[in-house]
Chain A
């Protein structure tokens, strides 16, 4: 159906339209600019609440929540250092996301490689402990994260007994055929006199070779981490 020409619209209607548009633009211009404010991470809702919200689709909700949590350090117009986040709440969120999507590995990667790599030792230990506790729910799939945590504990926290405890947990619990031999022998690897960069190269190289890491984003992320470590080692 063809529309009538604009000339048929009464002038008062056109005036009202122009006035409304101008007023809206002027109103917007007079509004104070929104200042970026850091918001605290809220506590994780209960699993029951999340299950109701998920409308029967917990996996999609878990994936979306992980992106929400990951982006929390980068709020609109502001960047919050990870160590300023409330780690008890972060742990609560990671735990809930794992409960919603148990086969998902993302929360463990975030705990070990993002939140667990801050310079505050207590927080680092908290994240390592989170990975260690959750490892026992599915050792044959979750061992790579505990292996990383064992290496970090040795080289960054310099806590050899704790690193051995993690490595021992892998040997005793990750007994599936899909777990490579070198991972089952993590204890020896921990006791060897390798520096942090060498250990990381062995670990990441082993994971790549064994096909445990195939996601291109994760490979890029790990390569970047290795480069950072190499640069740090050169600077020393």
Chain B
């Protein structure tokens, strides 16, 4: 099955590379440089810090948006063109197809992450850039896997993309939401306790993406390799969860 996974991954990657996605990634990189350079010029002090902080944030969000959009639109097109049915009519297990797609998208995620990481090299030491880039790759893998799951579940671009964006925003802000709920200003009423309980459950199911791809590594150079281990563990665990959920969905599909 590994050979089949490799083939599907290869053609998924080829599709992306022929889809003008690379042009878009380069355009995003140039826009980021221009925008952050302009804002850095306005700053009276800490101009490099301002520039790299805004550049990194812009690049991270752009990478997530581009990858999620590509995964969703390419999968929806394949579903509409009956490409999925065609591939599954061959002697190929459904798991092979899904893992092939996932591997292809994961390989694709490395391209913008590496390019954007290289841009940050102008401002920060290479170790910090390496940490940031590896973390961005992990973050993008989670987003790609979630996008794939959403497409298989909803079969529609609009619903899938909305779900991916909601997932991403919530995963990045859940820690702050928990803090608000449990902060000293929170009323200790029954309704508050119920809300906190629900938030706790949601938090338990989401990856803590706010710990990933941190701008402070690039600005204050305080990242260490030890920080990366829990992030890689979280990525592995969450990819297993999302792959499991996507396989569950795909195997139950009546094609």
How far does the alpha carbon of A55 sit from the alpha carbon of B48 in the complex, in Å?
22
A215 sits at the interface (CB 8 A): yes
Q: Given contacts A55-B172, A56-B173, are A48 and B50 in contact (CB under 8 A)?
A: no
How far does the alpha carbon of A63 sit from the alpha carbon of B210 in the complex, in Å?
17
Which applies to chain A's interface (DSSP): helix, strand, loop or mixed? helix
Query: Do the beta carbons of A217 and B45 come within 8 Å of each other?
Result: yes
B17 sits at the interface (CB 8 A): no
B1 sits at the interface (CB 8 A): no
A60 sits at the interface (CB 8 A): yes
Total count of chain B residues near the partner, CB < 8 A: 34
When each residue 38-61 of chain B gets 1 if its CB lies under 8 Å from chain A and 0 otherwise, what string results?
010111111111100110110010
Interface-located stretch among A7-15, A83-91, A103-111, A146-154: A103-111
How many whole Å from A197's CB to the nearest CB in chain B?
21
How far does the alpha carbon of A66 sit from the alpha carbon of B54 in the complex, in Å?
12
Question: Which among A55, A59, A66, A71 is the interface contact of B219 at CB below 8 angstroms?
Answer: A59
When each residue 218-236 of chain A gets 1 if its CB lies under 8 Å from chain B and 0 otherwise, what string results?
1001000000000000000
On chain B, the residues within 8 Å of A64 by CB distance are 39, 53-54
How many whole Å from B164's CB to the nearest CB in chain A?
15
How many whole Å from A14's CB to the nearest CB in chain B?
29
How many whole Å from B138's CB to the nearest CB in chain A?
14
Q: Given contacts A60-B57, A63-B54, A70-B42, are A216 and B177 in contact (CB under 8 A)?
A: no
A40 sits at the interface (CB 8 A): no
A57 sits at the interface (CB 8 A): yes
Query: Do the beta carbons of A106 and B46 come within 8 Å of each other?
Result: yes
How many whole Å from A150's CB to the nearest CB in chain B?
19
How many whole Å from A219's CB to the nearest CB in chain B?
9
Docked complex: A89-122 residues within 8 A CB-CB of B: 103-106, 109-110, 113-114
Question: Which among A67, A103, A104, A216 is the interface contact of B42 at CB below 8 angstroms?
Answer: A67
How far does the alpha carbon of A110 sit from the alpha carbon of B44 in the complex, in Å?
9
When each residue 1-44 of chain A gets 1 if its CB lies under 8 Å from chain B and 0 otherwise, what string results?
00000000000000000000000000000000000000000000
On chain B, the residues within 8 Å of A56 by CB distance are 172-173, 175-176, 209-211
In the complex, what residue of chain A is closest to B208 when comparing beta carbons? Answer: A56
How many whole Å from A148's CB to the nearest CB in chain B?
12
In the complex, what residue of chain B is closest to A215 when comparing beta carbons? Answer: B45
How far does the alpha carbon of A66 sit from the alpha carbon of B173 in the complex, in Å?
21
B216 sits at the interface (CB 8 A): yes
How many whole Å from B176's CB to the nearest CB in chain A?
4
B240 sits at the interface (CB 8 A): no
User: Which of A57, A109, A110, A215 has the most chain B CB atoms closer than 10 A to its own CB?
Assistant: A57
Docked complex: B128-186 residues within 8 A CB-CB of A: 169, 172-173, 175-177, 179-180, 183, 185
In the complex, what residue of chain B is closest to A108 when comparing beta carbons? Answer: B45
Query: Do the beta carbons of B44 and A109 come within 8 Å of each other?
Result: yes
A52 sits at the interface (CB 8 A): yes
A51 sits at the interface (CB 8 A): yes
When each residue 190-234 of chain B gets 1 if its CB lies under 8 Å from chain A and 0 otherwise, what string results?
000000000000000000011100111001100000000000000
How far does the alpha carbon of A218 sit from the alpha carbon of B179 in the complex, in Å?
36
Query: Do the beta carbons of A215 and B214 come within 8 Å of each other?
Result: no
9 A-B pairs besides A56-B210, A70-B43 with CB distance below 8 A are: A55-B172, A55-B173, A56-B209, A63-B54, A66-B43, A104-B46, A109-B44, A217-B45, A218-B45
Chain B residues with a Cβ under 8 A of chain A: 39, 41-50, 53-54, 56-57, 60, 169, 172-173, 175-177, 179-180, 183, 185, 209-211, 214-216, 219-220
Nearest first, the 5 closest Cβ-Cβ pairs linking A and B are A56-B210, A55-B172, A60-B57, A51-B176, A218-B45
